[in-house]
Amino acid sequence: MGKGLGGGSSINVMVWARGHKGDWDHFAAEAGDDAWGYQSILGYYRRIEDWQGAPDPTRRGVGGPAYVAQPQAPQPIAEALLSAASTIGIPVYDSPNGKMMEGPGGASIAELRIRDGKRQSVFGSYVRPLMSRPNLTVLTDALVTRLIFDGKRVTGVEVLVDGERRQFTARCETVLSLGAINTPKVLMQSGIGPEDELQAHGIPVVQHLPGVGRNHQDHLAFGCTWAYRKPEAVGGSGCEAKLYWKSDARLSQPDILQCQLEFSVPSPIETGLETPEHGWTMFNGLAQPKSRGRLRLSGPNTNDPILIEPNSLSAPEDMAAALTAVELCRELGNSDGFMPLVSGETAPGPRDRSGMIDFIRKSAVTYWHQSCTAKMGRDSMSVVDNELKVYCIDGLRIADSSIMPRITTGNTMAPCVVIGERAADLIRTTHSLPNLIGGLTQSN
C-alpha cells in the first residue's frame, strides 16, 4: 500500500484500467441502483478523463482531472504482444479502455497516468490544485485510530498527530478512505464489525456487521519470464501492453489479466527458478478470482497489525483458470513474433499438469489490488448501501476499494477514482452543495 498522499496512486505502476462493462453492471445489480451501472459510469469517465488518444465521444472524455495517455513509441516487446495475440485469434484494439472492455477482451497498448515523463498521482490531479482553499486542510503524519460516536452516529475521528491523540469532529458526516486493509481495521477497532471478532479482543460492539473484513479479493499473478537476446530499453511505467481474455469461452467476460512488464520480475525463491539478468515478464493473473479471503484483528490497539488471510487459489475454478492463463502466456511468449527479441523462456518452461500446479502455487504473488472488504450491497454481508453509507450507522460513508462487491477486471486505481467521484456526488446531493470545480460550476 502507498502510505502517503495519493495512497497507491503515488507508488503504483500508473496503469489506467477502467473495469469491464460487466463489472459495473454487477455493482449496479448488487447495489440495486443503476447509477452504478456501466452506462452511468461511462458518464463519470467522460467527465473525469483528460484522454490524449483518438476521440471516442461515447466513451472517452477530455479536459477532466485524470490525464491519461498511451506511450508514444512503445518498445518492440509491446508491439510483439499485439502481433502474437492476433496470430492466435485474440483481437487487437487501439485502446484497452473502450470497446475492448465491453466484450470478450483483447490486446492493446496500455494507458498510463504519465505526463511529460512524470507520475500523475490522484492527489496531484485532484487535491494539489485546491490546496490554497481556506476550507481545505491536509494533515500529514496523521494516523486515524478510531471513529468517535454519539450512540450510533459517527461524530468524528480520533487521530494520532506527532504522537498526540487529537479529536476532529465532523459537522456533516465522516468519510473513511483508508483502503481495503485499513478501512476494515479502523471500523473493527471502533466497534463496527463481526461481533465475535470484536468481543474476542475486548472491543465494545457499536454495531454487529458481519461483512466487515470479509469478501477480501485481489488479483493473483504468476510471472512468466523470458530472457532477452540483448538488453532492451524499458518504456512507459515498465508496462506498455495489456491483454484480457477468457479461460473458458462460456464466460460472460474476461477472467485472465495480463500486464506485460518490460523487465524480469524475479520468481519467488520457492520456485527455484533463476531470473534472467535481461528479460521481460508476462505478469499474468486471475482477473475474476472466485476465492474469498478475510481480514482479522490481532488486537484492539492501533499498533496491532491486521491479519490478512487472502485464501487465494482455494476455489478450484481459480486453479483451472490459472492453468489456462499460464499456457496462454507460454503460447504467446514462445511464438514467432517474439523470437527476434528473445533467447528463451525462463519460467515456467514446459511442465506436466502437476508441475504446472506446483509452479502456480509457488509463484503466485499479489497484484496489489486488495479490495471488497466492506462491500456495497443488500445482503447480510454488505457493509455499505448504494449511497456508500455504512448500514445501521449515521454520518459515516466509505469511499475506497473496500466497497467493491466484486473486484474489477483489471487494475483497480481507475475504479477507485470513480468510487471517489460517486461519493462526492452523493455527498453534494445530500447536503445540497454546488458542484464547484476550479471555482466554476460544472454540469454533469
Ligand X SMILES: Cc1cc2nc3c(=O)[nH]c(=O)nc-3n(C[C@H](O)[C@H](O)[C@H](O)COP(=O)(O)OP(=O)(O)OC[C@H]3O[C@@H](n4cnc5c(N)ncnc54)[C@H](O)[C@@H]3O)c2cc1C
| CA distances for 385 relative to 174, 377, 398, angstroms | 15, 6, 10
Of the candidate spans 11-19, 125-133, 193-201, 429-437, the one that interacts with ligand X by CB under 6 A turns out to be: 11-19
| Contacting range for ligand X; rule: CB under 6 A; set: 84-92, 101-109, 194-202, 407-415 | 407-415
Q: Are 372 and 184 in contact (CB under 8 A)?
A: no
Which residue number, 68 or 322, has a Cβ lying nearer to ligand X? 68
Distance CA 119, CA 13 (A): 9
Which residue number, 177 or 260, has a Cβ lying nearer to ligand X? 177
Supply 384's cell numbers.
Answer: 455499505
Query: Which 327-346 residues touch ligand X, going by CB under 6 A?
Result: none
Residue 368 near ligand X by CB under 6 A: yes
Which residues on neighbouring strands pair with residue 279, listed in sequence order?
227
Q: Identity (one letter) of the amino acid at 206?
A: V
For residue 86, give the H/E element and its range.
helix 76-87
* Residue 189 lies near ligand X (rule: CB under 6 A): no
Q: Which of 224, 416, 418, 423 binds ligand X (CB under 6 A)?
A: 416
Q: Kindly state the smallest distance separating residue 401's Cβ from ligand X, in Å.
A: 3
Taking the complex as a whole, how short is the minimal distance between the CB of residue 187 and ligand X, in angstroms? 11
What values do phi and psi take at 421, rounded to 5?
-65, -40
Residues binding ligand X: number (CB under 6 A): 30
Site string for ligand X, 199-238 (x = CB under 6 A): ----------------------------------------
Q: Which residues contact residue 43 at a Cβ distance below 8 angstroms, ignoring those fewer than 6 apart?
A: 444
Cβ 240 to ligand X shortest distance, Å:
12
- Contacts (Cβ under 8 Å, ≥6 apart) of 255: 246, 247, 248, 286, 287, 288, 321, 409
DSSP 344-360: EEEES-S--HHHHHHHH
Nearer to ligand X, 14 or 77 (CB): 14
Residues 116, 126: Cα–Cα separation, whole Å: 18
Task: Using DSSP, state whether 396 is helix, strand or coil.
Answer: strand
Ramachandran angles phi, psi of 239, nearest 5°: -125, 115
Cβ proximity to ligand X, 143 vs 323, nearer residue? 143
Q: How far apart are CA 76 and CA 340, in angstroms?
A: 10
Cβ nearer to ligand X, comparing 82 with 186: 186
Where does this chain touch ligand X (CB under 6 A) — which range of 41-49, 87-95, 373-381, 410-418? 410-418
Phi, psi of 272 (to 5 degrees): 70, 20
Residues with Cβ within 8 Å of 12's Cβ and at least 6 positions away in sequence, in order, are 2, 368, 411, 413
Residue 174 Cβ, how far from ligand X at the closest point, in Å? 13
CA neighbor of 112 nearest in space, from 78, 154, 159: 78
Quickly list H helices, 127-192.
Answer: 179-189
Q: Which of 78, 105, 81, 10 is nearest to 409 (CA)?
A: 105
- Supply the minimum distance, in Å, between the C-beta of residue 380 and ligand X: 24
Task: Determine the interface stretch with ligand X among 29-37, 38-46, 270-278, 412-420 (rule: CB under 6 A).
Answer: 412-420
Q: Which of 412, 418, 422, 423 binds ligand X (CB under 6 A)?
A: 412
Residue number with CB closer to ligand X (143 or 357) = 143
* Residues 238-267 interacting with ligand X (rule: CB under 6 A): none
Query: Coil, strand, or helix at residue 21?
Result: helix
Q: H or E segment at 1?
A: none
Residue 131 Cβ, how far from ligand X at the closest point, in Å? Answer: 16
The region, left, alpha or beta by phi > 0 then psi within -120 to 50, assigned to residue 357 is: alpha
Separation between Cα atoms, residue 328 and residue 136, nearest integer Å: 49
Closest CB to ligand X among residues 241, 356: 241
Cβ contact 365:322 at 8 Å: no
Binding span for ligand X by CB under 6 A among 4-12, 75-83, 218-226, 342-350:
4-12
Smallest gap from Cβ 110 to ligand X, in A, equals 9
Using the rule CB under 6 A, give the single segment among 42-50, 165-173, 289-297, 408-416 that binds ligand X.
408-416
Nearest distance from residue 6's CB to ligand X, in Å?
Answer: 6
Q: Is 208 a catalytic residue?
A: no
Q: Could you tell me the smallest distance in angstroms from the CB atom of residue 322 to ligand X?
A: 20
Residue 178 or residue 393: which is nearer to ligand X going by CB?
A: 178
| Residues 127-186 within binding reach of ligand X (CB under 6 A) | 143-144, 177-180, 182, 186
Instruction: Check 20, 216, 219, 369 and give the catalytic one.
Output: 369
- The footprint of ligand X (CB under 6 A) covers 1-4, 7-9, 11-15, 17, 143-144, 177-180, 182, 186, 368-369, 400-401, 411-414, 416
Annotated catalytic residues are 369
